[in-house]
Amino acid sequence: MANNTENMQNKAEGGENESKDLAEQIGGLVDQAKALQDSAAALTSKVRLEEEAIRQKALTVESDIKRLRSSLASVLEKDAIDQREGEKLEEELFRARCMMSEGDVSALLPSKAHGSFLKMFLGPINVRALKNDVRLKVKEEYNNYRDRTAVLFLLFPCILLVLKNWIWDGCIPAFPVQLYQAWLLFFYTSLVLRENILRVNGSDIRPWWIYHHYCAMVMALVSLTWEIKGQPSCVQKQQGVRLFLTWGNARGCYAASKQIPAATIIHPYCIRKGT
């Protein structure tokens, strides 16, 4: 009986010691977590202050670049400086502008407004990439996407025009045409979304390039409301459809054979002529 009592006491003492050890370990772990939190908060605050200081310097440099470009243009107009010297100074300003717009500094500069189109589709989220390699990846993906879809641009209407006389006896069914029109709407909408995201990330896409995609998107949406009639008098009733497909075929040929260099559209400051 005495042995049983002693064993129970030993077990109780062992349990208390184990509980104390476990409590000490948890307490130490909590202290480490608090120390790490304090260190991370201090580092974040320090980085934020340094980032704000660099941002102010970047804004000053960008303002000076614009001012000096305007002054140089005025001097060149008055022929108050040698032409070669003017070109050399212009090249130096070009290099400075390139570093500001395409380098890591661009992440610190204020981004362009997201615009109502992005807000309508994506909501109030920030699509600005902080790293320069991510922004370049977005541009590269845009170029690849446009090149891939150029083939569909050519094949889709061409196939419909071929099948019109080969299988459908000159009378195109409504569904294939509406499928093509729906694809056009998707294509132009995706292009406009990607181009607006590129603008937010500092790409200098020409406004007319985006606006004409807005117009094409509206055109594709309106074309979906067309009533595509069949027999009888199919040739007369589908005159507009054939013209629309012919236009799509011509546009596809142009897109496939003469791609507009996206590099000159996206970042003209850092791409020289002929590259």
- For residue 8, being part of any structural domain is answered with yes
For the chain, how many structural domains are there in total? 2
Structure tokens at 273: 């002529």
- Domain shared by 7 and 75, yes or no: yes
From CA 210, how far away is CA 260, in angstroms rounded?
13
B/e letters for 152-167, b = 16+ CB within 10 Å, e = fewer, are: ebbebbbebbeebeee
- Domain shared by 169 and 256, yes or no: yes
Q: Could you read off the pLDDT of 65-113 as tens digits, one per residue? A: 888 888 888 887 877 777 788 788 888 888 887 777 766 777 677 666 6
Domain that holds residue 53: 2-107
Q: Where are the alpha helices (DSSP H) in 201-226?
A: 207-223
- Domain shared by 74 and 149, yes or no: no
Q: For residue 68, what are the CA distances in angstroms to 75, 79, 162?
A: 10, 16, 59
- For residue 150, being part of any structural domain is answered with yes
Q: How many CB atoms lie within 10 A of CB 210?
A: 18
Q: Could you read off the pLDDT of 181-207 as tens digits, one per residue? A: 888 899 889 999 998 888 887 777 888
- Domain shared by 130 and 232, yes or no: yes
What's the pLDDT score for residue 12?
A: 54
pLDDT band at 261 (very low <50, low <70, confident <90, very high): very low
Residue 28 scores a pLDDT above 70: yes
From CA 229, how far away is CA 237, in angstroms rounded?
6
Q: Which range in 58-72, 155-169, 229-243 is most confidently predicted, on average pLDDT?
A: 58-72
Average pLDDT over residues 23-48: 87
pTM for this entry: 0.60
The more confident residue out of 4 and 275 is 4
- Domain shared by 141 and 235, yes or no: yes
